[in-house]
Amino acid sequence: MSLVPERTVLIQQAFRLEWLTVAWMVIEALVAIGSGVIAGSLTLTAFGLDSVIELISAGVLIWRLTEELRRGEEFSRHAERIASRSGGALLFGLAAYIVLGAAWSLRTHHGAEFSVTGLIVAAAAMPIMYSLARRKVTVARQLGSRAMRADAVESMTCGWLSLVVVVGLLVNLLLAAWWIDAVTSLGIVWFVVKEAREAWSGEDCCSRE
């Protein structure tokens, strides 16, 4: 079944948004994980791992959009459900990693060093992800795509995570307290678990802008 021209235009817009997401997530993941490892920062490392998960989500959505262009609008809804649940499972795993890492840091009094590079990439992520998320929500609503709605939620969460990272890094710089990184990383868990539950259940996020 061929697609109507209006829907084809929407799919092309979705493709552009997802490829922009992929380009930024590659940069964000490499810089955040690299900076996190060098500084010994659980918060930055978790931020980078969340970027990897969003990369996977964007890849799945690109596949889903490609399938619709090839086969028409009657694409597999079951595949979208599987993709959404897979992302949710990965995020639950990330939440467990953060909690265990924070517990270890607090028990051993392990502190993280301040990272200028990490601060820059986290600060840049806030406006970038906010803009991408809003545009994805609009296109997702017009397409009626649960997969793209879930991807928009992940972009929103990435923006909130970047804010948490920036605040944590600045507090660490000002107070030089060894426990700041562990406590900040636990602040991320709420966002990660919330995102994981929505991805697993397939909740509609498009009413949030």
Domain ranges of the chain: 5-201
Short-list 80, 73, 47, 97, CA closest to 202: 80
- Torsion on CA atoms 63, 69, 75, 76, rounded to nearest 10: -10
- pLDDT at 28 exceeding the cut of 60: yes
**Considering the entire predicted model, what is its pTM?**
0.77
How many helices (DSSP H) and strands (DSSP E) are in the chain?
6, 0
Q: What does the mean pLDDT of the chain come to? A: 81
Task: Give the mean model confidence (pLDDT) for residues 59-84.
Answer: 72
pLDDT at 186: 83
Instruction: Kindly report which listed range (7-11, 25-29, 140-144, 203-207) carries the lowest average pLDDT score.
Output: 203-207
Class of domain 5-201: mainly alpha
Alpha-carbon separation of residue 146 from 51, 65, 78 (angstroms): 20, 12, 11
Structure-token pair, residue 7: 């829907």
Length of the chain: 209
Q: How do residues 163-195 score in pLDDT, each as one tens digit?
A: 888 888 888 788 877 788 788 778 778 878 887
Cβ neighbors of 196 (< 8 A, separation 6 or more) are 87, 88, 89, 91, 92, 94, 95
